[in-house]
A and B are shown apart, each in its own frame.
Chain A
Amino acid sequence: MNIHKLGISTGSAIGRARYFSSVAKPELPASFVKDDVEYVPERDKSGLRQQHKNVLHETLPYNEAHSWIHLTEKYQRNMYGRYGSKSNVNPQICFGTLAERTKAQQRESITQPETLPELLEKLRIRKAAKQAAINEREESIQKKLEKLDQWKAELNAKVEKRKADAAAAIQRKERLIEEVRRHFGFKVDVRDERFKEMLEQKEKEDKRKQKEAKRKVKEEKMMAKLVQQTS
């Protein structure tokens, strides 16, 4: 209903204007448009910026530098890589300057200073050292293994001897105690003073006897030697 009202009111206003213009104003100079060219309404309603449209159509986004970034070598290389000859970039820029190339080569020689033969030589040395260490160890083990039986026998003899000595000492002690008891004629406590004294005496005697026996053996040996020498 509002539109209807508006229509009526505007219609009347235009009518009024027409009426007044025809009376009061002189006619404006007319401008002409060609009738053979058809009006084409705006089709591109994306609202994209020109550079983005360019990217969309796979052409260079900017025809001239809009930022200092567009002047850098990296950007220009990128443009060449992405748009090829359409980018108007000289591909020479992609290879860098001679100084840059030599610097890159230097860097490569630092990061990988060794050639393949050198690497192989190093590997060979390392392997040889490892093998040598293994061989050395194996040899030492072999040497020890050869002596193993002998060492085993020696150890067993040592252990047996120690055991026998210990048994003999115990027997001697027991014998001495028994002798002391026999001397007193009755059972004497081991902790008794008299018993201890007697035991000491007996031990001393025993030692003397042992010494004498040793000396006798020595003398006999000497005599045997002398006899041998003289005969």
Chain B
Amino acid sequence: MAHLRESTDKALKLLRTLPRVQIGNLRPNPNSKQNDKRGRAQHGGDKHGAGNKGSGQRQNFMRLGYETGNQPFYLRFPYEPYYKGHHMRREYPPISMLQLQVLIDTNRIDISQPIDIATLCNSGLMSLKPAELQYGFQLTDDGLDNFKAKINIEVQHASEAVIAAVERNGGVIRTAYYDPRSLHILSNPKKWFEKGLPIPQRMLPPQDAVEYYTDAKNRGYLANPEEISKERLVLAQKYGYELPRIEDDANYKMLTAAKDARQLFHGLEPGWLINLVDKTIVKLKAT
């Protein structure tokens, strides 16, 4: 035991003389910091980690899962049914309720107007790529407990909890389908209006999306409005909150504003020509 005590004493003695752990003698973990400067020539300026040839050098990165001609891993096993038709599936990029609340709190979104894809894209923080099969936004339930805004929002997909969170605050939520051309227009309306073309009609949803958008539970834009108001009550009872009466609301007109199934922009009908410079609407006179 004596030798042990001796060694502990030695260790303690050593520890006393060693420098303390403090901010002055700490350094970042090795390789945890990346140098943001790109060395040239002899200062590490060879290939910069991009390799000698191929897609690494050209920085044209392959699509996810692609294995340069091999049968990709995610397609290798023919009995994985959830990958069926994956290249044609509709994608709905997520927006969390927290993000939406932040957008509202930082005045990126005006809640005195109905919110739709164009509003979200015009905030400058969201973007949509219809060419990559993105079919609009889905509102996810992250941060739904802290969601306090009273809004009229139109998204492309929303879960039950999200619908409940919006309606609990006296807001209105609707899910609506937009075809890729409409999405292209809505993702950057200003650019599209500069083309000088009349607003086209919105297309109806494809067969496999009809069920979702005609269901009152999903607040689909093709559902029966009476059923929707019934489902609002049902959801309020299920989640245990009192449904605020939007009929008595001062913003009743704004809150219940909804687009037609063929309409792209609030207040603008298909077939109208909008000029942003003159601020005029040109309509084709029916003969």
Distance of B227 from chain A, by nearest CB (Å): 14
Task: Write the A70-84 contact mask toward B (1 if CB under 8 angstroms, else 0).
Answer: 000000111111111
Q: Which residues of A contact B196 (CB under 8 A)?
A: 76-82, 89, 91, 94
> In the complex, what distance in Å separates the CA atom of A115 from the CA atom of B205?
10
Contacting pair B210 A119 (CB below 8 A): yes
Q: Which residues of B contact A77 (CB under 8 A)?
A: 195-197
Which of A110-137 touch B at CB < 8 Å?
A: 111-112, 114-116, 119-120, 122-123, 127
Q: Which residues of B contact A149 (CB under 8 A)?
A: none
Is the C-beta of A95 less than 8 angstroms from some C-beta in chain B?
yes
Q: Which residues of A contact B133 (CB under 8 A)?
A: none
Interface centre among A77, A78, A81, A91 (most CB of B within 10 A): A81
> In the complex, what distance in Å separates the CA atom of A81 from the CA atom of B189?
12
Is the C-beta of B93 less than 8 angstroms from some C-beta in chain A?
no
Contacting pair A82 B197 (CB below 8 A): no
> In the complex, what distance in Å separates the CA atom of A168 from the CA atom of B276?
102
Contacting pair B204 A81 (CB below 8 A): no
Which of A59-117 touch B at CB < 8 Å?
A: 76-86, 89, 91, 94-95, 108, 111-112, 114-116
Task: Write the A200-219 contact mask toward B (1 if CB under 8 angstroms, else 0).
Answer: 00000000000000000000
Contacting pair B214 A120 (CB below 8 A): yes
Task: Write the B187-228 contact mask toward A (1 if CB under 8 angstroms, else 0).
Answer: 000000111111001011101001100100000001000000
Interface centre among A58, A84, A115, A122 (most CB of B within 10 A): A84
Distance of B20 from chain A, by nearest CB (Å): 63
Q: Which residues of B contact A120 (CB under 8 A)?
A: 210, 214
* Residue ID in chain A nearest B275 by CB atoms: A84
> In the complex, what distance in Å separates the CA atom of A122 from the CA atom of B204?
14
> In the complex, what distance in Å separates the CA atom of A116 from the CA atom of B224?
13
Distance of B225 from chain A, by nearest CB (Å): 15
Contacting pair A81 B210 (CB below 8 A): no
Contacting pair A86 B277 (CB below 8 A): yes
> In the complex, what distance in Å separates the CA atom of A81 from the CA atom of B198?
10
> In the complex, what distance in Å separates the CA atom of A81 from the CA atom of B190?
10
With beta carbons under 8 angstroms apart, the residue of B205, B214, B284 that contacts A95 is B284
Contacting pair A112 B204 (CB below 8 A): yes
> In the complex, what distance in Å separates the CA atom of A76 from the CA atom of B189?
19
Distance of A48 from chain B, by nearest CB (Å): 22
Which of A138-177 touch B at CB < 8 Å?
A: none
Contacting pair A94 B282 (CB below 8 A): yes
Known pairs A79-B196, A86-B277; A123 contacts B211 (CB<8 A): yes
Is the C-beta of B80 less than 8 angstroms from some C-beta in chain A?
no
Q: Which residues of B contact A84 (CB under 8 A)?
A: 275-278, 280
Distance of B275 from chain A, by nearest CB (Å): 5
Distance of A87 from chain B, by nearest CB (Å): 9
Q: Which residues of B contact A58 (CB under 8 A)?
A: 277
Distance of B284 from chain A, by nearest CB (Å): 5
* Residue ID in chain B nearest A81 by CB atoms: B196
* Residue ID in chain B nearest A80 by CB atoms: B196
> In the complex, what distance in Å separates the CA atom of A112 from the CA atom of B261?
14
Known pairs A95-B284, A119-B210; A81 contacts B197 (CB<8 A): yes
* Residue ID in chain A nearest B282 by CB atoms: A91
Q: Which residues of B contact A114 (CB under 8 A)?
A: 204, 207
Q: Which residues of A contact B205 (CB under 8 A)?
A: 119
Q: Which residues of A contact B222 (CB under 8 A)?
A: 116
> In the complex, what distance in Å separates the CA atom of A24 from the CA atom of B175?
97
Interface centre among A78, A85, A91 (most CB of B within 10 A): A91
- Closest 4 pairs (CB-CB, A-B): A81-B196, A84-B277, A77-B196, A84-B278
